[in-house]
Each structure stands twice: as structure tokens, then as C-alpha cells.
Structure 1
Amino acid sequence: MQVLEKKIIFVGGKGGVGKSTSAAAIAWKSAEEGHNTLLVSTDPAHNLGDIFNQSIGGKTTNVSKNLSALEIDPEIETNNYIKGVKENIKGVVHSGMMEEVYRQLDTAKASPGADEAALFDKLISIILEESEHYDKLIFDTAPTGHTIRLLSLPELMGVWIEGMLQKRQKTNENYTQLLNDGEPIEDPIYDVLKTRQERFSKAREVLLDGKVTGFVFVMNPERLPILETQKAIELLDKYHLHVKTLIVNKVLPDDVDGNFLLQRKGHEQQYMDTIKETFTKQQLIYVPLFSRDIMDKQQLNDFSKYFVKE
């Protein structure tokens, strides 16, 4: 599985297809091969603790040799994000307006996109600051729609901040000419925006570097996961984020018996053919349907054996 060679791996897919299990198995295999690995869940419905049968939560937790895990809590990260914004505007906003500004910021916690912005901020911190402490970073992302919004934020936010900087610079130039005798004025807001632009730019460079970052999508051989995966790949392509590996999970074994399962297997084969015809540019990894849920490290190890390099 070529994607295992990447330092940073994002695992996405429709809810319920085995995305978290696949991400955990990739991380497990990486750790077994001797790589110091961090597995990060950005999915609000965290499953990593259940898979490893231990509490993980919002602090980096060791789960086995060479493997640590972290479950990012969107609510906590949103609160931290708003707290950071409040700190940044101190000394910039007039003291008489602070109470109203703080009230507006607290209201913004519940606004659409607030969680994604906060998660993205945490994501950048992990990629830029934590990556030097690990050989591999594996991200178990939220279901497809959230993943696309999260991964497209570097480009979208970069464009937005560039526009803000240009307007701010123009305003500063006008103030300089009118009020400051040509001497550049100090502008902490501009400095904050510039710093964030640089962080977004670095994060985007990492995401776009195919030698460093890989994208894996998980699907089942069923109609809706196939359609959703196809749309996700096409959309991510527009942001120059290319999914090159697909895990086809929960494939019925060839030796099924009984009339119901035989009919189901024949129906499934039609979708398997569709997958081969549709995803010609992706490496396809097939993982069978196990007789039991993946609930311990031995079962996770068995799952990971299907991730072989071709």
C-alpha cells in the first residue's frame, strides 16, 4: 500500500464504512514497522477509544509501542479558538466596545463553520508543530462533507486573508499619508493576519506535497458510498488534493453459503465491477467483511495485514 510511505495520511469516507477502523489499522501497521506514529481523530463521533478498548480523549495517549492517539474535541477547540481571538483583539478594540465584541464572539461559537475553523486551527498546529516529534501522522477525519470543508480551508482562508491584508494595507497607507508624516503606523491586526497567512500557507504547502501527504478514502461495495466517494474525489481534485488510494472495506468472502448471502454476493459483484471501472486512477485495497467487529489490538493487526505494498 503505497500511501503508507507518506509521513501524513488523511483517511476519509462516508459514515459507517469503517473509516476509523481503517485509520487505526494504518496507524497500527505503521507503528509495528517501527515508526513513531500519532493517530488523530477529528471526527466528533470519536471511535478510537472503542477500537483500542481504552480511554483516549483530548490529550495525547499512548496505546501501544510506537503508537499514540488523540481525539480532538470540537467544542473545546472552538472555545480555545474564540479565546485566542479575544486575546488578539485586546489593545485593538476600544475598551468601551469590548463587552459587546466579546458577546458577539461568544455567539459566534454556535455559527456554521465555527467548529471547522477551530479544528483547522488545531490541525495546523499538529501538522506544523507536532510533526517533528513523530515519523507518521494519521488523521481519522469526520464523514465526507466535513472532511472536504476541512481540507479545502487552507485555500479558501488563504484567499480571504489575502483580501483582508490588502484592504488593511491600503487603509494603513492612507493613515500614514494623512496622520503620520509618512512614517509607517503600527498595526497589530495586520501583524496577526500576516502571521495567520504564513501558517495557512505552510499548511497548504504540506497538504499539496504529494511526497509528504497522502489521502485515503474508505468505501463499501455499495451504491451510496461509491457515489459519495466519486463526488469527493472530484471536488478535492479541484483543490489539488488528489486521492490516490481507496480501501474497499467489508467485502463478502468468496466462500459464502446460503441462498441469501449468495444473492448478496452476486449483487455485490456488480458494485465491485463499478468500482474497478470508476476508480481507474486509484490504487484499490480490498478488505473482507470480518465475522466479528474489530474490538481489540489482535483483530486490528489482522485487519492491517491487508495493507500490503504492491
Structure 2
Amino acid sequence: MQELINKIVFVGGKGGVGKSTSAAAIAWKSAKDGFKTLLVSTDPAHNLGDIFDKKIGGKVTSVTANLAALEIDPDIETEKYMKGVKENIKGIVHSRMVEEVHRQLDTAKASPGADEAALFDKLISIILEESECYDTIIIDTAPTGHTIRLLSLPELMGIWIEGMLQKRQKTNDNYTQLLNDGDPIDDPIYDVLKKRKERFSAAREILLNPEKTSFVFVLNPERLPILETKKALTLLDSYHLHVKTLIVNKTLPENPEGEFLRKRKEHEEKYVTMIEEYFVKQKLSYVPLFSNDISDMAELEKFGAYI
């Protein structure tokens, strides 16, 4: 398991496959090995508190001497994000337009992608600032579709901001020529965009560095999780984000008892073969189906031993 631990580890996968349990097990093992570890959940259906039997929430909470955890609430982060945008436009937008701009920003809060942008902004802060306080950060992400959009945002938003910067620069150049004094004009919006571009570039550099960041996907030996994982890995590859480790969770024992389980095992073996054919570049860790939920430290440690 030691080789899984990079500075940043993203754990993703389809909902219900055991993603949070896997992330918690990796974080628990990292902390036990003596590394100062932060476990972050971006999944709206947070259950880290259930796993550790401890209220966690939106502030970094100590779980053990070396392990802290944080559950990011997308609604709260979207509210903070929009508040920050409103602060940035103070002194930039004419006072008569402020109310209308605020109204449009409040409307934008409900638009598709607003929560993901806010969530990514929070993750950037954790990756760029909080990472100095920890040896490793394990990020338990939302189900696959959200994970893909989240991890592809640095490139997409970097391109968008670059386009905005070029437009602002062109506008500023035109104003300078119009004023005919040759002095460049101050543009606070340009400065804000430039700073955001620099933060996105720094985050992207970390995400693309395999010595700093690794990606782990969790799946079950079933058709839909396999197909969804295959699509996810192909898309992430196109953004140069390469997944090297897969956790195949909830596999049946080798010699199950009873006719039903034997037939189920035969069915499962077809999907295990499919997994091994589809994911030849990834390291596969098989975790058995446990008879009970992973709900305490002893069970979590048992789970982690298979990774």
C-alpha cells in the first residue's frame, strides 16, 4: 500500500462501490505509518463521519494524532465563492450597477457547474496552501461524472481565463491609444483574472506531476461500474491525468457455499476477466465482500490490508 501514497491521492468511482471506505482505509494506513494525513470528502453524500464515528463537517477535524478529516459542503462553498466574487467587484463596477450585478451573481449560484467551480476553488486552496501542513492529502471525490469534471477544470478554466485575459488586454490597449498618453491603464479585473490563472496553472502542474499526485479508482466486478470506469480513465487520459491503481471491491470468496453464491461467483469471474483485459496498465487490488459494513477502526484496518 505504501506505493499508493503520494502528496495528493484522488479516490474516485461510481456511487456505491466503496469509494469513501477505500479513501478512509488509505488515509488510516498513511496515518498509522507515521505520515501526517488529511482526508477530504467532496462527495455531497458525506459518510466519513459514519466511518470514524465522529462528527466531521466543514472544518478540519482531528481523528487521530496523525489523521485529520474535512467534509466540504458544496452549498457553503458556493456561497463563499460568490461572496468572494462580490468582494472582487467592489470599486470596479459603477455603484449604480452593483445591485444588478449582485442579482445576476445570485442567479448564477443555481446554474449548472457553479457548485463544481466553487468546490474546485476550495480544493485549489487545500492543494496549494493546506498541503504545507500535511505529508499527504487523500481526496474522496463525488461519483465518477463529477470527478471527471472536477479534475478537468484546471485545463478548461485555464483556457477560458486566458481568452478573457487576451480580451481585457486588447480593450486596455485600445483605451491607452484612445487616451494617447502612452501610459497603461490600471485594470483590477485583469489583475484578478491573472491571479486566478496563476493559481489554476499551479494546481494543474501539481495534478499532472505523477510524483506528487496519484489517482485511484474503485469499482465492483459488475458490468456498469466496469464500463463507467473505462470511460472515465479514457477521458482522464485525454487530459494527461493517468490512473495507475484500481481497487476491485466486494469480490466473492474463491469457494462460496450454496448454489446461489456459486452461480454468482461464476457470473463474477466473467467480469473479473473483463477487468483484467480492459485495465492492463493499472495495478489491481482485490478486496473481498465483507459480511458486515465497515463501521469501526478494526474493520477499516482489515479492509485496508487488501489494498
Aligning the two structures, in what range does the TM-score lie when normalised by the shorter sequence? over 0.9
Q: Describe the superposition over 1:240-289 as per-residue Cα deviations: whole angstroms up to 9, x where unpaired.
A: 00001000000001131000001001110110111111100000000000
**Residue 267 of structure 1 aligns with which residue?**
267
SS of match in other structure, 2:253: coil
Mapped partners of 1:219, 1:240: distance in 2: 21
| 2:170 counterpart of 1:170 | yes
- CA shift, 1:3, in A, is 4.5
Aligned-pair Cα RMSD in Å: 0.8
State the partner residue of 2:80. 80
Give the whole-Å Cα distance in 1 for the aligned partners of 2:270 and 2:2.
27
SS in 2 for 1:100: helix
- CA distance, structure 1, for counterparts of residue 185 and residue 104 of structure 2: 28
Q: Which residue in 2 is equivalent to 1:106?
A: 106
Listed as ranges, the matches of 1:71-220 within 5 Å are 71-179=71-179, 181-220=181-220
CA distance in structure 2 between the partners assigned to 1:62 and 1:95 by the alignment: 45
Q: Please give the secondary structure, in 2, of the residue aligned with 1:38.
A: strand
Measure the CA separation in 1 of the matches of 2:133 and 2:218.
28
User: Is residue 219–residue 229 contact of structure 1 (8 Å, CA) maintained in 2?
Assistant: yes
Unaligned runs of 5+ in 2: none
Unaligned 5+ segments in structure 1 are: none
User: Which residue of the partner structure matches residue 304 of structure 1?
Assistant: 304
Distance 1:138 1:9 in 2: 5
Quote how far apart the aligned CAs of 1:7 are.
1.1
Provide runs of 4+ in structure 1 moved above 4 Å: none
Instruction: Measure the CA separation in 1 of the matches of 2:294 and 2:179.
Output: 68
Give the aligned partner of residue 282 of structure 1. Answer: 282
Q: Deviations over 1:174-196 (max 9, x none)?
A: 10111150001000000000000
Equivalent in the alignment of 1:246:
246
CA contact (8 A) 1:3 1:214 kept: no
- Say if 1:4 and 1:30, in contact at 8 Å, map to a contact too: no
Calculate the TM-score normalised by the size of structure 2.
0.99
Shift of 1:226: 0.2
Question: Following TM superposition, by how much is the alpha carbon of 1:64 offset from its aligned partner in structure 2, in angstroms?
Answer: 1.6
Structure 1 residue matching 2:173: 3-state secondary structure? helix
Give, in angstroms, the shift of residue 86 of structure 1: 0.2
What is the identity, as a one-letter code, of the residue corresponding to 1:88? N
Distance between the aligned counterparts of 1:6 and 1:72, measured in 2? 21
Find the aligned partners of 2:245 and 2:180 in 1 and give their Cα distance. Answer: 57
Deviation at 1:5, TM superposition (A): 3.2
Q: Give secondary structure in 1 for the equivalent of 2:129.
A: helix
TM-score, scaled relative to structure 1: 0.98
State the secondary structure of the residue aligned to 1:64.
Answer: coil
Amino acid at match of 2:122: K
Deviation, structure 1 residue 34: 0.3
Report deviation, 1:122. 0.1
Kept after mapping to 2: 8 A contact 1:3/1:245: no
Residues 231 and 179 of structure 1: CA distance in aligned 2, closer, same or farther (over 3 Å): same
Verify the 8 A CA contact 2:255 2:262 in the aligned structure 1. Answer: no
Maintained 8 Å contact 1:38/1:138: yes
Percent identity between the aligned chains? 76
Question: Is the contact made by 2:5 and 2:136 (CA closer than 8 Å) also made in structure 1?
Answer: no
Residue of structure 2 in register with 1:16 after alignment: 16
Matched position secondary structure for 1:216: strand
Give the AA of the match of 1:98: V
Change (3 A) 1:180 1:295: farther
Partners in 1 of 2:167 and 2:2 — Cα distance?
44
